Amino acid sequence: MSLGRPLLAVCAALLLLASSVAGISAQVEGSHWTSPTYGFRVSWQNTKWQVDPSGSLVAAGPERLDRLHLVNGVSSLYFEGATRYGGDLSSCVAEEANILSRENGVSDIRPYRDASGAPFVADGPNASAAAFSLTLQTGSGQIDLVNYVECRTLVPDEAVLIITLVTDPATFEAQLQLAQDVADTVTLAENVPQSPLAAYGGWIAAAQSRPSLAGPLSGEIAFGPGRLGVERIGVDAPDFYARAVFQNPEPSSLPMWDFGLGFRDRGGEEQLRLVVDSAGSWFLKDGLGPVIASGNLVDLDRAPNGSNSIELVAVGDTGYFAFNDRLVTELDLSSRTDGGDLFAGAGFFSEDAAQPGTTAYSQLEVWSLAGLESAPATPAPVVVDASTFAGLVRAASAESSLAGPETGELVQAADAATVIPAGVEAEDFVARVTFIVPEGSPGQPWDVGIAFREQPSGEHYRITVASDGSWEYQIGLQPDLAHGRVLALSLEPGSRNTLELVVAGDSAGFAVNGAFVSALDASALRGAGGIWIGASFHRADVADGAVMRFEAFTVWPLVAPPAMQEEETAPSATPAAHPPSAPDQQTLRLHEKGDSGIDALAVLHEEGGATTITVAARDVQGDEVLVVQAGRCDQPLPAPAFLLEDFDDTGRSVSIVKSALAALSDGQHSIAIRGGADDYGTLLACGDIPALP
């Protein structure tokens, strides 16, 4: 489940005035909202801001995301608490902008500049902010937007508060002031207790460390007029964790239906009942007594062939209810604390059993929590980003592998991608493989990739890299989840490109030739699945019978390092310079000079005594001059050391210079983008090549 803020949806929300707040979670009290996970409080009293219930979340996903979404008919305003970026504020702003740049339809993202041309950037000890201009492609054309991001410390070294404003450029400054009026009301909790999500996760981890009491079980429950259908498990457990998946009933024409779990059952009507009905409401009842608690669900699958899962933790007076892998609420179980059986049921309410039917259930399993007095601490989720990637790879590759290393060939065929499976299934892992560029016809395109979490249905994630420098991230053949450009790619026949992938829960990321490329969202497909490498994913890249050789295809179990090393800096859109796994490579940014609007990334990669220099620039026209200078950006020698290839239509330049990387990395060379041949003296962008240690 994606937890992002898709801008096409935001555009619709810009026109929304919430006329009713019915169904909004209990965290909203009048014109105030309290984050249930982090305890911070926001007020929009006496303003024109109103709540968008559909855009608000509580403790969602592995980052424990709490979100409040406000709208005023012109702008969208978000307040989000999340365990992201290790609490680092500048990294928060940079990566939020990086995420925005990868969103479908977004182009021309750049720093916002006010009427005087100054960028909007602010940094302080407890807050960091920046604004970005962008163009969004919609179904009816293009629109310009401004995206303001402010990050504040929420939990030191752990969580951040992210304030996001999306609005029209013409009204940005006025709308920012209206947003600031609300942001100024934010108050932080002095002490953040263990959140329900953390407690729930701790109980589940503790339960699943033991053998289950029963299951997994599957079967059918028959219900009908005046008859509650039940399938008893045959356990006696006051404290437990239980999970079950319920298929929507047959016949599919039933107008109303329900399903749920009975627990602490002593026979007759002596049990607690957790019930979900076809209207999307849930109820906690004591037998046939009054409703103890109830609420509404936003993600009930009502399709005729749909299914929904219930998870329940019961410990003493307290319970936790999750639906479709999302924690819904904490429950008061004090009315019945003794042990008893557990059952799956259907037809709890007479109106839901007015006609006979059957409900299939599966994966019904129960674990004991006996003997535990408090929820074990649940470890913070592993987030894969530029700051953690290299450490995760090093920690995993130091252990025994699950599969490999394997070396072989992928022989291309015209009708399908060619794949080699690792022969193992894993949910969280680290994989590495080196592909060797074919020696075939010059200019023949190719692509390679890694697929993972392959489902029984055949669905799988795939990350592919092509010879034109592009990368794509998809589920099977579905539209891209993300895409972009790879700078550190070797294209010469016989050269090697190493692809590394880290997958951890809902988070993933990949690197090419030691340079981190992008974080990835892996929340849509969960569970262990097959892992394989492949070539010729795209028909245009197929040369029938051509061979793509690969080396050292290896898969390791994910191992979280005890601590990230100091040299692994916070997340950034720029790959870390001189990555430890690639001592023959340098990466640097060419910074804008003189308000040119141009900046770029450069990758230098040595092989065979020569250095390939790849530069990807934004907003170049194609007539600029790109050079390696002797001397640093502030004191270059008049004549360039090397003249590099011109930019192509995509803003990319690839050149090979006859110089060792060490000679260029002496601390006295730089890469510069200058005006055309008639304007060489104008410096548009420049970056000093870091000195190698």
DSSP string, 141-199: EEEEEEEEEEEEEEETTTEEEEEEEEE-GGGHHHHHHHHHHHHTT-B--SS-PPPHHHH
- With a CB cutoff of 8 Å and minimum separation 6, the contacts of 389 are 500, 502, 509, 511, 516
Rounded CA-CA distance 117/176 in Å is 18
From 267-271, 287-291, 581-585, the region with the lowest mean pLDDT: 581-585
- With a CB cutoff of 8 Å and minimum separation 6, the contacts of 546 are 411, 412, 438, 440, 444, 446
Nearest to 332 by CA among 281, 287, 285, 370: 285
Distances in Å between the alpha carbon of 414 and those of 4, 493, 509?
37, 21, 30
467: left (phi over 0), alpha (psi -120 to 50) or beta: alpha
pLDDT of residue 653: 85
From 78-87, 196-205, 249-258, the region with the lowest mean pLDDT: 196-205
Contact at 8 Å (CB) between 549 and 406? no
Distances in Å between the alpha carbon of 5 and those of 23, 103, 132, 386, 396?
21, 9, 15, 21, 32
The average pLDDT across 303-328 equals 88
Domains parsed from the chain with CATH numbers: 7-193 (3.40.1000.10), 199-368 (2.60.120.560), 389-557 (2.60.120.560), 585-688 (2.60.40.200)
Banded pLDDT at 378 (limits 50, 70, 90): low
The average pLDDT across 145-167 equals 86
Q: Which residue has the higher pLDDT, 414 or 441?
A: 414
Given a cut of 90, is residue 163 above it in pLDDT?
yes
Given a cut of 50, is residue 125 above it in pLDDT?
yes
Nearest to 297 by CA among 315, 317, 313, 321: 321
Rounded CA-CA distance 127/122 in Å is 8
Q: Which residue has the higher pLDDT, 656 or 93?
A: 656
The average pLDDT across 187-199 equals 65
Given a cut of 70, is residue 337 above it in pLDDT?
yes
Given a cut of 60, is residue 311 above it in pLDDT?
yes
Rounded CA-CA distance 63/41 in Å is 19
Contact at 8 Å (CB) between 391 and 502? no
Strand order in the sheet with 652-657: 640-643, 625-630, 669-674, 683-688, 585-592, 599-607, 610-618, 652-657
Q: Which two tokens stand for residue 323?
A: 């639906």
CA angle 452, 107, 123 (to 5 degrees): 90
Cα 667 to chain centroid, rounded: 37
pLDDT of residue 526: 78
pLDDT of residue 101: 67
Q: How many CA atoms lie within 13 A of 136 on its CB side?
A: 22
From 424-428, 444-448, 654-658, the region with the lowest mean pLDDT: 444-448
Given a cut of 50, is residue 456 above it in pLDDT?
yes
The average pLDDT across 241-268 equals 93
Phi–psi pair at 362, nearest 5 degrees: -155, 170
Q: What is the DSSP letter of 55?
A: G
pLDDT of residue 256: 93
The average pLDDT across 655-669 equals 85
pLDDT of residue 567: 37
Given a cut of 90, is residue 267 above it in pLDDT?
no
Q: Which two tokens stand for residue 420?
A: 């080699």
- With a CB cutoff of 8 Å and minimum separation 6, the contacts of 547 are 409, 410, 411, 412, 438
- Please write the tens of the pLDDT for every residue from 561-606: 554 433 333 333 333 333 333 346 777 778 888 888 887 778 888 8
> What is the sign, positive or negative, of the torsion defined by CA atoms of 473, 477, 479, 484?
positive
Given a cut of 60, is residue 12 above it in pLDDT?
no
pLDDT of residue 693: 65
Distances in Å between the alpha carbon of 419 and those of 432, 464, 466, 532?
15, 12, 16, 6
Element (H, E) at 421: strand 418-426
pLDDT of residue 367: 93
Banded pLDDT at 433 (limits 50, 70, 90): very high
The average pLDDT across 672-677 equals 85
Record the pTM: 0.42
pLDDT of residue 179: 92
Banded pLDDT at 352 (limits 50, 70, 90): very high
Contact at 8 Å (CB) between 612 and 490? yes
Contact at 8 Å (CB) between 343 and 261? yes
DSSP 328-386: EEEEE-TT--S--EEEEEE--SGGGGSS-EEEEEEEEEEEE-TT--SPPPPPPPP--ST
Contact at 8 Å (CB) between 515 and 586? no
Contacts by 469-473 with C-beta closer than 8 Å and gap 24+?
469/614, 469/616, 469/652, 471/510, 471/512, 471/517, 471/518, 473/518, 473/520
pLDDT of residue 8: 47
Rounded CA-CA distance 578/59 in Å is 37
10 Å Cβ neighbour count for 580?
A: 14
Q: Which two tokens stand for residue 19?
A: 């006329």
Given a cut of 70, is residue 263 above it in pLDDT?
yes
CA angle 74, 78, 83 (to 5 degrees): 165
- Please write the tens of the pLDDT for every residue from 601-657: 788 888 877 888 888 777 788 888 899 988 888 888 777 788 888 888 777 888 888
Nearest to 361 by CA among 454, 243, 267: 243
The average pLDDT across 329-333 equals 88
pLDDT of residue 21: 32
Nearest to 498 by CA among 488, 487, 508: 488
Phi–psi pair at 345, nearest 5 degrees: -140, 165
Contact at 8 Å (CB) between 585 and 604? yes
| Residue carrying the six token digits 């999302």 | 326
pLDDT of residue 379: 58
Q: What is the CA radius of gyration of the chain?
A: 28
Rounded CA-CA distance 640/659 in Å is 14
pLDDT of residue 242: 94
Q: Mean pLDDT across the chain, nearest whole number?
A: 81
Q: Which two tokens stand for residue 290?
A: 């009054």
pLDDT of residue 375: 61
Q: Which two tokens stand for residue 448?
A: 């390679």
Given a cut of 60, is residue 264 above it in pLDDT?
yes
Q: How far is the first Cα of the chain from the last one, in angstroms, to the nearest whole number?
A: 44
Contact at 8 Å (CB) between 34 and 81? no
Nearest to 513 by CA among 418, 584, 609, 425: 584
Rounded CA-CA distance 629/359 in Å is 73
Q: Considering the chain, what percentage of its residues have pLDDT values greater than 70?
A: 85
Nearest to 655 by CA among 669, 671, 668: 671
